[in-house]
Chain A
Amino acid sequence: MLKVNLSDTIAAISTATGSGGIGIVRISGDEAIEIADSLFVSAKGKRLAEQKSHTIHYGNIVYDGRAIDEVLVSVMKAPNTYTREDIVEINTHGGYRAVTAVLNAVIKRGARVAEPGEFTKRAFLNGRIDLTQAEAVIDIINAKTDKSRETAVARLEGRLSAEIKQIRESILTMLAHIEAAVAYPEHDDETMTYAAVEKGTREAMANVNKLIATADTGKIYRDGIKTVILGKPNVGKSSLLNAFLEEDRAIVTDIPGTTRDIVSELINVGGIPLNIIDTAGIRETDNIIEKIGVEKSRSLAEEADLILLMFDGSREMSAEDRELIELTRDKKTIVLVNKLDLEQKLDLRGMGIEPINISVRNTMGINEIYDKIKEMFAVGDIETDDSVLISRERNKASLYKALQSLENVIETIENTMPEDFISMDLTAAYEALGEITGETLEEDIIDKIFSEFCLGK
């Protein structure tokens, strides 16, 4: 079970690192204002503790006698805050380094680094939001791309709820017919034929399936497409990665082995979130001329949702290239032939491969890669319409549970079992869908029965 300590003060950078110049350090808890006051030097000599709630103040963060950054500080007092605790938000301007320095100063003054999602957890534990909202907000926090953020926001606005409600309503109507006939055996006009129930059930199944189909896409928007760039040393993997990173306007430092020395990077290219794995490895193999490790490539290929297999168009095909083609044969793979700007010596004819010819150096063909990925993962459509995305495993599980129950209904009908057994699984489907929206059955069905049918002695 949850073990919570609701008394200490937590702080974190509340904007995703690397996205733009402004960074916010958020502090929440009993000592939030006190800690901020110990660092903030107002332009007009104000003390934050004396300010009204929900006001913004201009000044500097000064630590150890040194001004770290010029800031705007918002003061929000409990209980009308997101966490229902005192909250201070420090808006910094100096980019990644400044925001980190401000956070460090806050921590040194007694706050503790918040765990991922801990603000939301507090909002939830303090009764500010319910579980569904909490999950959607956690999605917002974790949102890796704009699209993902929209998905989460749409959830908050209840678009998913609306879709689920529609399906539930149709199930409820069928249930009400069956239940009314059961409760009033002598009333002859409430029964629904098996054919009608079957039709309604199949429609509900189709709608649930539609939602389930969005689950993978939803997950992609949340976690990104796990992508690996494979290829011999010096085919241009590292340049391609840089091209992607520039597209994302991420902070790229010029010092190798600093920000780049990580296992994976989540980037947003052309609206598609790519979670590129083994980025460190890419650099390593491109820097040091060495033989590719086939075993390593194999395990990376297995892990990935998408493989970008790169060849150097200016070189002839080698045994290693053939090996790479073989081990990526059964995976979603896009073959890229780089260095289009040089004389082409690579011959892929007769291998059943439709490569995209690119020149990373001249940024030629990069857009074609995006288009191809969109096509392969069917993510392009989602971008233009506003349909719902299922992005949480829990909701997906509820949908599968509902689907299973609806399948049971069809089986019951096909076996010509009595209608009470239909009712049992319709009820289960209705409740599984209700888990997503947090609604229950019993009063719904009774209200429905008495509003739809004229019954009673």
Chain B
Amino acid sequence: MGKLYTADEVDICVIGAGHAGCETALAAARMGLSTILFAINLDSIAMMPCNPNVGGSSKGHLVKEIDALGGEMGRNIDKTYIQTRMLNTGKGPAVYSLRAQADKAKYHTQMKKTLENTENLLVRQGEITDIVIEDGKVTGVISESNALYKCRAAVICTGTYLKARCLYGNTIIESGPNGLRRANGLSDCLKRLGIRLFRYKTGTPARVDKRTIDFSKMKEQRGDENIVPFSFENRAEDIEREQISCYLTYTNERTHDIIRANLDRSPLYSGVIEGTGPRYCPSIEDKVVRFADKTQHQIFIEPEGEDTNEMYVQGMSSSLPEDVQIAMYRTLPGLENVRFTRTAYAIEYDCIDANQLKLTLEFKDIKGLFSAGQFNGTSGYEEAAAQGIIAGINAAAYCKGIEPLVLDRSQGYIGVLIDDIVTKESREPYRMMTSRAEYRLLLRQDNADLRLTEIGYRYGLISQERYDRFLAKKKAIEEEIERIGKINLGPSEDVNSILTDCGTTPISTGINMTDLIKRPEMDYDKLAPLDPDRPALDRDVREQVNIQIKYEGYISRQMKQVEQFKRLEGRRIPEDIDYDKVKGLRIEATQKLKAVRPVNIGQAGRISGVSPADVNMLLVYLNM
């Protein structure tokens, strides 16, 4: 190592400028802290090295929550989407899934522009190789050029770059995603700091030249006509634009035969790949092996952007040799003559066991050191960004000496995500799923603003103007629900003819409008003709009124569950508890509790390896 020089002195250094790092840096800077955001290459800021979309099932919820807290992802995708769809609309309001195809290049450019124009924030190219800790506290970071950046807090957002290698067939490239330089130094520094590392693996499919695809053999998938923005700041009409289609095709037995014949050439099956891969993101060879009886698999062809001919082949992630990849891609209808622009590959990287973190995303044993994103063992842009904004807020809160932000499982998917990775055992890269959110009927994507705007405002990430608009919306919803509750309808001819038109049974006695909205065939808007005094309300207000009335019974059932949950969460465990003194805990439970250091009984109960009996022991101990 050469001679260090002090390059700068700031409040917060963010290491890595992917989706986590961008949100972290923006939140910190917007909260008034001087911040530097480091990236190995500034042209890879907010890069999407895998799928070209944002949102989808449960991930759409995360984006909406990030936006409600004052984050950037929702605004950025609203500016750069090329197709948008609301999925799952038939399955209930809690699982509506907003998903947009992104123009990858524009997504990057737009985010970089926002970062560059944010006060208190500097983006800086360079690899951070060391973190300086003094007296258990972060005091600076050091770059590969021997520059010391003094700081009070650092946030690690290194994604898949740490000691990364990309593989297909027997080709092994020591690089980060997309051929970018990997980060070599930091892993060793982390080990020196006593941080436990995992090795995880994921993969991406090939990109292909649009001009070599026969789309006539595929099924076109168009965007929605009535679009819904991700950001609560935007109205649909303000962001409407021409949309670009995706296409659906299928694999077949010929594809599968090629894969089976060449399995021995896959590094996954020959044992070259050491990392643990996610079950929800299997390679095509994995699918063919594990689900041998399936004769076809869905494959989606998605544009990477407006200004490129590159297309992403969703569902065909692989680490087979390049020649095998090309042969198997060419068995798909429409891809008979396809030409690759980029080869599919698997990527392995270092990440941490997130049990080492507090719920604030600060390391338990190092003050001022935070981490977010794929580095924490998750996968997905949205999961990364969600942690990013929390880490940013909490790094800033740490510097300011104010209360950190911890969302619980009843407040948002972000709360579920962080509680899961910090508390539970990690076996594979973590993906958000609606089934992980036990109170999902309350955590809808449509009400993310109602749940979280207040919090974003409190931390200074929501402007006064936006907050005032939010309060007005909230008031309008409450007033309208109250007004509807006072409307009673009699069985007049007018009323019954409208009800019959809507396909619902006519009434024979008086009925409250609330009860009519609850009927499966009915909703708030359909009853407008029977409601002459109805005020003119925005679409999102009407949507809230409808959902809150229509599903009131289910919602209140879930609220009761939340009450029970809150009781256990309210039973704090003192930070200095000595688990060796708790009589009757099993050894495994003692070890787990010592490692995770849960803050309350509820969290203790969620630790894998801690049984209800152990929780009872703990309760007995705390009550003695």
Q: Are B611 and A182 in contact (CB under 8 A)?
A: no
Known contacts A127-B617, A418-B90, A456-B281, A449 near B612 by CB under 8 Å:
no
What 10 A-B pairs are tightest by C-beta distance, nearest first? A420-B92, A127-B584, A418-B92, A185-B87, A1-B623, A130-B613, A450-B279, A454-B291, A179-B435, A182-B95
Known contacts A183-B57, A417-B92, A424-B441, A131 near B281 by CB under 8 Å:
no
Surface stretch bound by A, among B21-29, B176-184, B294-302, B326-334: B294-302
**Range for the number of chain A residues in contact with chain B:** 35 or more
Known contacts A185-B57, A418-B90, A442 near B613 by CB under 8 Å:
no
B64 CB → nearest A CB, Å: 17
Q: Are A456 and B616 in contact (CB under 8 A)?
A: no
Surface stretch bound by B, among A2-10, A228-236, A371-379: A2-10
Is A445 close to B, CB under 8 A? yes
Q: Which of B582-624 contact A (CB under 8 A)?
A: 583-586, 608, 611-614, 616-617, 619-620, 623-624
Known contacts A127-B583, A446-B433, A419 near B92 by CB under 8 Å:
yes
Is B287 close to A, CB under 8 A? yes
Is B544 close to A, CB under 8 A? no
B465 CB → nearest A CB, Å: 35
Q: Are B612 and A456 in contact (CB under 8 A)?
A: no
Instruction: Give which listed residue, B282, B608, B611, contacts A456 with CB less than 8 A.
Output: B282
Please give the number of chain B residues whose Cβ is less than 8 angstroms from any Cβ of chain A in the complex: 57
Q: Are B611 and A125 in contact (CB under 8 A)?
A: no
Chain A residues, CB < 8 A from B617: 125, 127
What are 28 A-B contacts with C-beta separation under 8 Å?
A1-B619, A2-B620, A124-B584, A125-B617, A126-B583, A128-B584, A129-B613, A131-B612, A181-B91, A182-B435, A183-B280, A186-B87, A187-B298, A418-B92, A419-B91, A419-B92, A420-B92, A421-B551, A421-B554, A424-B557, A454-B291, A456-B279, A456-B280, A456-B315, A457-B51, A457-B205, A457-B281, A457-B315
Assembled-state Cα–Cα distance A441/B95 (Å): 19
Chain B residues, CB < 8 A from A116: none
Supply 4 further A-B pairs (C-beta < 8 A) apart from A419-B92, A424-B557.
A179-B433, A185-B57, A420-B440, A427-B438
Chain B residues, CB < 8 A from A424: 441, 554, 557-558
B189 CB → nearest A CB, Å: 33
Q: Are A124 and B613 in contact (CB under 8 A)?
A: yes
Known contacts A124-B613, A126-B584, A179-B434, A416 near B520 by CB under 8 Å:
yes
Q: Are A442 and B436 in contact (CB under 8 A)?
A: yes
* Secondary structure dominating the interface of A: loop
Assembled-state Cα–Cα distance A454/B278 (Å): 13
Q: How many A-B residue pairs have CB under 8 A?
A: 124
Q: Are B620 and A131 in contact (CB under 8 A)?
A: no
Binding site for B on A (CB under 8 A): 1-4, 6, 124-131, 175, 179, 181-188, 415-421, 424, 427, 438, 441-443, 445-446, 449-450, 454-457
B377 CB → nearest A CB, Å: 15
B256 CB → nearest A CB, Å: 12
Chain B residues, CB < 8 A from A3: 623-624
Is B249 close to A, CB under 8 A? no
Is B356 close to A, CB under 8 A? no
Instruction: Give which listed residue, B51, B441, B614, contacts A420 with CB less than 8 A.
Output: B441
Is B517 close to A, CB under 8 A? no
**Nearest CB in chain A to that of B613: its residue:** A130
B446 CB → nearest A CB, Å: 13
Q: Are A420 and B624 in contact (CB under 8 A)?
A: no
Instruction: Give which listed residue, A127, A188, A445, contacts B435 with CB less than 8 A.
Output: A445
Q: Are A450 and B613 in contact (CB under 8 A)?
A: no
Instruction: Give which listed residue, B91, B205, B294, contacts A418 with CB less than 8 A.
Output: B91
A198 CB → nearest B CB, Å: 15
Chain A residues, CB < 8 A from B608: 443
Chain B residues, CB < 8 A from A418: 90-93
Question: In the complex, which of the residues B58, B91, B616 has the most CB atoms of chain A within 10 Å of its own CB atom?
Answer: B91
Assembled-state Cα–Cα distance A256/B294 (Å): 80
Question: In the complex, which of the residues B278, B294, B314, B520 has the most CB atoms of chain A within 10 Å of its own CB atom?
Answer: B520
Chain A residues, CB < 8 A from B438: 427, 441-442
Q: Which of B75-128 contact A (CB under 8 A)?
A: 87-88, 90-95, 97
Instruction: Give which listed residue, B290, B297, B298, B434, contacts A182 with CB less than 8 A.
Output: B434
Assembled-state Cα–Cα distance A179/B440 (Å): 12
A429 CB → nearest B CB, Å: 13
B575 CB → nearest A CB, Å: 21
Chain B residues, CB < 8 A from A130: 611-613
Is B160 close to A, CB under 8 A? no
Assembled-state Cα–Cα distance A421/B56 (Å): 20
A368 CB → nearest B CB, Å: 48
Is B317 close to A, CB under 8 A? yes
* Secondary structure dominating the interface of B: loop
Question: In the complex, which of the residues A186, A421, A445 has the most CB atoms of chain B within 10 Å of its own CB atom?
Answer: A186
Assembled-state Cα–Cα distance A129/B614 (Å): 10
Chain A residues, CB < 8 A from B440: 420
B346 CB → nearest A CB, Å: 14
Q: Are A446 and B554 in contact (CB under 8 A)?
A: no
Question: In the complex, which of the residues A124, A125, A420, A442 has the most CB atoms of chain B within 10 Å of its own CB atom?
Answer: A420
Chain A residues, CB < 8 A from B58: 183
Assembled-state Cα–Cα distance A4/B622 (Å): 12
Assembled-state Cα–Cα distance A124/B620 (Å): 11
Question: In the complex, which of the residues A1, A188, A424, A427 has the most CB atoms of chain B within 10 Å of its own CB atom?
Answer: A424
Instruction: Give which listed residue, A2, A182, A186, A446, contacts B300 with CB less than 8 A.
Output: A186
**Nearest CB in chain B to that of A415: its residue:** B520
Chain A residues, CB < 8 A from B441: 420-421, 424
**Nearest CB in chain B to that of A130: its residue:** B613
Q: Which of B472-493 contact A (CB under 8 A)?
A: none
Chain B residues, CB < 8 A from A185: 56-57, 87-88, 97
A263 CB → nearest B CB, Å: 35
Chain A residues, CB < 8 A from B558: 424
Chain A residues, CB < 8 A from B87: 185-186
Q: Which of B268-315 contact A (CB under 8 A)?
A: 278-282, 287, 290-291, 294, 297-298, 300, 314-315
Chain A residues, CB < 8 A from B92: 417-421
Chain B residues, CB < 8 A from A421: 92, 441, 551, 554
B421 CB → nearest A CB, Å: 13
Chain B residues, CB < 8 A from A124: 584, 613, 616
Question: In the complex, which of the residues B90, B291, B436, B613 has the most CB atoms of chain A within 10 Å of its own CB atom?
Answer: B613
Chain B residues, CB < 8 A from A417: 92, 520
Q: Are B280 and A182 in contact (CB under 8 A)?
A: no
B350 CB → nearest A CB, Å: 23
Known contacts A2-B623, A127-B583, A186-B300, A438 near B611 by CB under 8 Å:
yes
Q: Are B291 and A125 in contact (CB under 8 A)?
A: no
B447 CB → nearest A CB, Å: 15
Assembled-state Cα–Cα distance A446/B298 (Å): 21
Q: Are A183 and B434 in contact (CB under 8 A)?
A: yes
Instruction: Give which listed residue, A127, A187, A188, A456, contacts B585 with CB less than 8 A.
Output: A127
Chain B residues, CB < 8 A from A420: 91-95, 440-441
Assembled-state Cα–Cα distance A441/B590 (Å): 23
Assembled-state Cα–Cα distance A125/B618 (Å): 10
Known contacts A183-B433, A186-B298, A421-B92, A457 near B317 by CB under 8 Å:
yes
Q: Are A442 and B435 in contact (CB under 8 A)?
A: yes
Assembled-state Cα–Cα distance A427/B440 (Å): 12
Chain A residues, CB < 8 A from B205: 457
Assembled-state Cα–Cα distance A175/B438 (Å): 13
Known contacts A418-B90, A424-B441, A450-B279, A184 near B586 by CB under 8 Å:
no
Known contacts A125-B583, A127-B584, A184 near B57 by CB under 8 Å:
yes
A41 CB → nearest B CB, Å: 35
Assembled-state Cα–Cα distance A456/B620 (Å): 44
**Nearest CB in chain B to that of A452: its residue:** B291
**Nearest CB in chain B to that of A448: its residue:** B435
Chain A residues, CB < 8 A from B586: 127
Q: Are A454 and B554 in contact (CB under 8 A)?
A: no
A331 CB → nearest B CB, Å: 39
